[in-house]
Amino acid sequence: MKVSRRTLMINSAAATAAFAATQLFRPRLAQAQTNDVVNLYSSRHYNTDDDLYETFTDLTGIRVNLLEGPADELLERIKNEGANSPADVFMTVDAGRLWRAEQAGLFAPVVSKVLSDNIPESLRHPDGYWFGFSKRARVIMYNKDAVEPAELSTYEDLADSQWRGKVLIRSSSDIYNQSLVASMIAANGLQATENWAKAFVSNFARSPEGNDRAQIEAVAAGLGEVAIANTYYLPRYAQDNDPAKQAVFDKTGVFFPNQADRGTHVNISGGGVVTTAPHANAARQFLEYLSGSEAQAFFAQGNNEYPVVEGAALDPVVASFGTFKADDINVSAYGENQAAAVQLMDRVGWQ
């Protein structure tokens, strides 16, 4: 069976259109009350994930119905659908978003020996509300012509005056940065992190703009000397047939910070079973499948991510970055410290 793929980009300002779309989507999903289907709401937007879902169907006979959209809008949709929601599983990127969903009461706790055995404790909710299925390392990327790796050490060090006018990073509204700062609050305390952030902002090469790829391209072009970005973006440049893209990869180095102390900040892509899931058993099976070796290989090979299960083969370009020590703080701390992180970033003028 093939994945039933339905993509819906919900415009929160167009409530009538969203409601109509809901009515079109719901009848076909809600009518199946057996466990031969799982209805997945996902903000992951990678076409390679289709292979994951098709393989799950081949292995189990359980069909995956996919609804895609921005994370916040999918969350609002589940809330609005209430007890009649057809959603079985909600998946998204960043532990901060998963935490928001859990706080809104949208996840049911899952007890599964498979999940607890496969997924490290630091990469899942302590009470089983959600689980990480792939990792993203948020690293320092540097211009190879301007920086020697020996000059780099920690995230904290990027606040040093030697990096004045040399740091590239995206906006404080980006949840990846909010989670990074939240992890630093957990590690160093609120006041120390605010002191760091004040000096860090003064080292920006430009006002924050663009996504992680924009930071990578800017550092390769020499608009700054170092950038903070997720690793999985960089291999795309090496894999592109455009010589200009390949040149970006060739000019950009990867450095894993904080190897002498807590380790490099990692975030997750993950999901959980929706509280009102009509096919809860199939949903649990789906999550267990995502933690298995076959699915972990899909995450690693298909989207240049790091698997959460040790031993899954990495994409060759990702493997070329080398091994690293990851921060083993429980990623739920990103959500717990998220509000404090946002307020702190506002106070120091991080745009």
> Residues forming the annotated binding site?
45, 232-233
Q: How far is CA 215 from CA 148, 197, 268, 298, in A?
A: 19, 19, 20, 27
The binding site for Fe cation comprises 45, 232-233
The H helix count followed by the E strand count for the chain is 15, 11
Helix (H, G, I), strand (E, B), or coil: what is residue 25? Answer: helix
Residue 210 one-letter amino acid: G
Q: Which residues pair with 67 in a beta bridge?
A: 6, 41
Separation of alpha carbons 345 and 350, rounded Å:
5
SS3 content of the chain, % helix, strand, coil (to 5): 45, 20, 35
Q: What are the phi and psi torsion angles at 185 (to 5°)?
A: -60, -45
Question: Quick one: which of 63, 55, 68 has its CA closest to 32?
Answer: 63
Q: For residues 210 and 270, give the distance between their C-alpha atoms in angstroms, rounded to a whole number.
A: 24
